[in-house]
Every structure is written in structure tokens, then in C-alpha cells.
Amino acid sequence: MSTNQRPDPDLARRMANAIRLLAVDAVEAAQSGHPGAPMGMADIAEVLWNRHLRHNPANPHWFDRDRFVLSNGHGSMLLYALLHLTGYALSIDDLRQFRRLHSKTAGHPEVGVTPGVETTTGPLGQGLANAVGMALAEKLLATEYNRPGHTIVDHHTHVFLGDGCLMEGISHEACSLAGTLRLSKLVALYDDNGISIDGHVQGWFTDDTPRRFAAYGWQVVTVDGHDPSTIDAALRRARSASAQAEGKPTLICCKTLIGKGAPHKQGSHEVHGAALGAAEVQATREALGWHAAPFEVPADLAAAWNATERGQALEADWQARFAAYREAYPAEAAEFHRRMLGELPDGFAADLPAMVAALGQRTDAVATRKASQLALDAMAPRLPEIFGGSADLTSSNLTNFKGCVTAGPDKAGRFTAGNHLSYGVREFGMAAIMNGLALHGGFIPYGGTFLAFSDYSRNAVRMAALMKLQVIHVFTHDSIGLGEDGPTHQPVEHVPSLRLIPGLDVWRPGDALETAVAWAHALQRRDGPTALALSRQNLPPLGDETRAAAVQRGGYVLSDSVDARAVIVATGSETMLALQAQTALAAEGIAVRVVSMPCTGVFDRQDAAWQDQVLPPALPAVAVEAAHPDFWRKYVGRSGRVVGMSSFGESAPAKDLYAHFGITAARVADEVRALLQRPRQGCGVAAEATA
């Protein structure tokens, strides 16, 4: 079926029923899952995927494809059925393995696991925010690369969402910004079925959703979600030239019946998150006139659904247009191709050591948030793909850099493809939008807020780690060192808890050089996100630039002593305290080693030889960090000592706070003396059980 072709109503109904029954069969076989949303949204999905969506099942990564996001990810069988039916490499056996170990059909869609899945969804609202990021990426790239007569970036982002997505606060953050940015190629289809897990939503969700989105600056259309002709008309309106000229994202509110087709359970919460049961499955087959066996799709429907030929033609047309673009604009085409591959510019990696060394040669005290900005000044102009921003804290996070340009519409409504965005006070939305930018391709996104406010964005940070996205979080004001703003803004548990997120590299650098190394690491890392925990207060240099190679290993010997009797492990602003304690102890004839540990995650990936060389198992250890102490037991052992804090902070100047909480060089020295008074276990990375 070609794009925008109008099928006969009976065929469209049967094609939608193929989605319904595949979802019913898979959930029944697994005895786990959510059949209600796939059954209720099947008619919407049939219209979008058969008449409007531009994609190529033979190449899920074709650049100019439309993006499709299932924000209500619990309805995953809707997406799996669509991918199977349209011709992606997702077999009927894969559907039979729904929710089974190591299958391609996990309980919620996972990018990188299932071909055709654009983002991992499940935590409600985040898929919608990811879609905003994808639409923003498309607009930025289109503005930057399209030329008169040569349009190589021209695709839409479609997102399905439900009541739960709209109840989550992130929907406000992301959709408000999408309206302000005039992301007209973003089309959201809302499954307005009035049901959530607890039942009918009238008791807890009575928002006037159309007026809410109209206030955001969206175009809003309301349709019968089971009438293909009105759904089709709404999608045509959303994609029309006049809608694009108006510059508004589109919300299509689709009134649906959850579990449509299940005669005894449709319209109730019973069909939301549980298998129908054998009797209701049979009743559903009879009600829909479906006579095929479980997991069987009649041949005529399979042929009607298959979109491979159409998708290959769409991609071939784009390839021809890109070839013409390459001939007319060879430099731009080469740069565009490089960015889509995710490769760094030629020579950038080779030049990084010199950029890092230049910061390491500074002799003045500088806050690591300022060192971060200096690193951006040196590195960002060489990276057209870098896209920064801050949650209304640019002047505090220092995420802007020399020559950066603010993205977004000007007073006349013209969109500027800049490389920095003021996200407003939207930490969670910012983090999830950055995930969407990274998923789309062509960008390395970073964004800033205070470390204490990482709590707002934490689940999106976790999702970036789960998806292995190259996203960089700039978290400043990293300790009680921020001073007078007090305990609401002073992080205590944040760095240790962020370190527990699998795949997130958390850097807490102690000076400008370590900060520059952290940025170099983040810009080269392709398999996961990075968080930088940066100081407000100025920090003196810990040494010269020759440390750079050692810093890259996450933990290294900063200052050694002959016949050292103990190790002091430190990070961030407390590393200087460790050096001061070492000097005081040396005056008493007590030799100690100081280890700087700016990134425990990177250190943990080093080989055992390096780890034992830095933290000799035979030496007792004291760790110091202005954060909750429990994390450091991993390195100092049960009998080691940790200088930290397990209470909230206070409002006072930073110097007074460090003294009040006992995070001082004198305290560190005292702990070393106490440690050496009796036999102790050595330090080293504690053994961990792995599943």
C-alpha cells in the first residue's frame, strides 16, 4: 500500500484487527502484558503506519525516516505488531517470545534490542519528551543543512501517548518548550480512553487537555480514534504546508475504547494490564470475526501490511536527492555524513591532548565549573555537533562558550540553528530532550543544572545510561562548598547515588586539568552518558599537565612518598585537603600516598594491575569527600576510614561549613594516625558479586 493511499474500509478494519489479535495472542502466551492500549489504538496505528509514516523496514537507520515513539511503552505489543507486519526483522517467533529472557520483544520497547524501536520507553512521559528532542534535532539540522532546491532533512516525529504520559509533570516541561520552539513537525496522538490502572480517571485526571495544549501554542484536533477517515484527515492537516507555515506542533486527541474488541472487558481497567483469559480471547475472536489461529496473519493482510517495497523506494528517492546535494555542496554533504555516523572531526582526537595540556598549565586557582567553560571554549568550536544548554542557570553552570549561538525562534518567528539552548526551569524535560537529540543522531548534547537538582532529572539520566547514549550532564555547585544557599542546594548523597547508575561515568575533578580530561573523555565516549560534578569555589592546581594520561584512568597516584604506610583517597575539592594532610603527616615522619579519584567508574574498568598499583592491597586507606561516606567503603575496606558527611548541610560561608562538618586536612590526618595505631585491612577495589 503506498503512502497516503486510502484503503477500502473493510481492509483497514481487518488490518487493524491483525494488530489487536497479535497483541492478544502475545500477552496471553506470556500471561503478562498490556493488551488494552494496542487494541484501543490499533485503528490509529493502521492509519498512521499505512498512509503517512515514511520509513524503510529494510533499513531501520535510514536517516530521513519519520521517527515513531510509543511513549505509553506498556503497550509495547502495539509497536511489535506494527514492526512485524510492516516487514522489520521481527519474526512471528519473536512475538511468541514476548517478555521472555533475551527475546527481541521485551516488556517495554528497548532501543538497540528491537529493530525499528527509536527509544526505550516505559517510564511515562519520557518518550514524549524524547520525541520533542527528536523534532528539535530535525529542525536544527534542516535549518543548518537544507539549501534552496536541495532538501535533505525533511521528516516528522510521531508519538503515541496516553493519560499517564500527560499526568506526569515532564509532559508539561517538554510540551511547553516544544510550543515555544515551534516544532511544527512534531505530531502527538493521544489515546484518550479515560482508563488507567486504578480505573476510570475522572477521580484523578480532569484536565482540559485540548485547551492545555492550545495554551502551549500547539494545534489541537479532536477525532474519533476508531474512525479511520477522521484520523487520516487530522494527520493530513498536521502534515500540511499551511500547518508547517503556522509553526505549531500538533496534538490529535483520539477518543478511544481501551481493549476495543474484547466484548466483556473493553472500556474497563481489567483490560489495561493483564491477559484477557482464554474465554475472553475466544469471545474477542468471535466478536471481530477473526478465524485465523493464534499468531497467524492471513496472507492478504500480510501482503497489505508489508511496507518494504515502499520504504526502499522512499529511501532510494532520498539517496538520489542527497547525491545531488553532495554534488552541489560537497563540503556540507561530507560534514552532514560525518555527523550522522557519529564520528568526531578529523584531527580532533589528535588535538585533544594539547587542549587538555593548555588547561593543565594554568597556575591560578579556578572553580571547576569555570574550568569546564574554559574546556568548552577550546573544544566546542571544533565540534559542530555539540549542542549545549542549561535549566535557567547558564550564568551559574557556565555552559555557554565563546561564539556559541542561542537556538530557537527570533521575534519574527524565524528559527536560528544555534548550538546552545535556554531550557528554562525544566531539569527533567531538559534531560529527556537531550536523550531525544542523541537518539536522533547528529548531536552530542550537554546540559547544566545544580547537582542538588539532579534529583529532578535523575530518571532521564538513568534512561540515558540504559540506552547507552552519549549525553553529558554538567552538574555544578557540587558540595557544601557552594556556601550560603544552604542545605536545599547543598548535595550530600547525590554524587554517591549517581555513581550507582550502571554505565554512567561520574567525574568529580579536583582542578582544571582533571576537568579538561573529563570533558575529553565525555566527548570521545560513545557507549554511555557522562556526569560532571563541578565546584563553585576556586580550586588550586594539583600538579602540572604531565598527569593527563594518568587522570584518564579515573584514579591515579597524585603524590607518593617513599615507604608510604597508608593511602589517602580523595576527589574533587577535597583532594587539596588530602595533600595538606600528607604534608602535615610527613612532618611527623608518617609517610602516606595521596590518590586522586576523579572518576570511580573509569577506575573500576582498569585492569587489576593498575588498581593494585594505585591502591596497594597491603596499605590501609582513608577516603575523603564532602558527600555521604558509605560509597567509599568499597575502596577502603571495612576497617578503613572515611571523612565525609551523612547529614544535610547548613547555610554559611564554605570555609565555615568545612570546619563545622569536620572535613579538614587536620581531620584527615587524625584519621590516618588512628588508622595506623592498630593492624588494618588493606585498601583496594572490593570484590563484587555479579549476576
Other residues' Cβ atoms within 10 Å of the Cβ of residue 687: 7
**Spatial distance between the Cα atoms of 121 and 394, rounded to a whole number of angstroms:** 30
| Stretch (H or E) spanning 70 | strand 67-70
Cite the active site residues: 427
Q: Could you give the count of Cα atoms lying within 13 Å of 624 in the half-sphere of its Cβ? A: 31
Residues, the chain: 691
b/e for 151-176, b at 16 or more Cβ within 10 A? Answer: ebbebbbbbbbbbbbbebebbbbbbb
Pairing of strands 186-192, 157-162: parallel
Q: How far, in whole angstroms, is CA 14 from its chain's centroid? A: 37
| Stretch (H or E) spanning 23 | helix 9-30
**Spatial distance between the Cα atoms of 307 and 88, rounded to a whole number of angstroms:** 9
**Spatial distance between the Cα atoms of 628 and 476, rounded to a whole number of angstroms:** 17
- How is residue 160 annotated by DSSP? E
CA-to-CA separations, 544 to 364, 541, 559, 636, in angstroms, rounded: 12, 7, 12, 27
Strand partners, 387: 445
Residue 98, C-beta contacts closer than 8 angstroms, at least 6 positions apart: 26, 27, 29, 30, 33, 77, 80, 105
Q: What is the DSSP string of 574-599?
A: GHHHHHHHHHHHHTTT--EEEEE-S-
Nearest CA among 253, 255, 194, 173 for reference residue 219: 253
Residue 690, C-beta contacts closer than 8 angstroms, at least 6 positions apart: none
Output the nine-digit C-alpha cell for 69: 515513539
Q: What 3-state DSSP class applies to 685?
A: coil
Type of residue found at 208: D
* CA dihedral over 72, 76, 77, 81, signed as positive or negative: positive
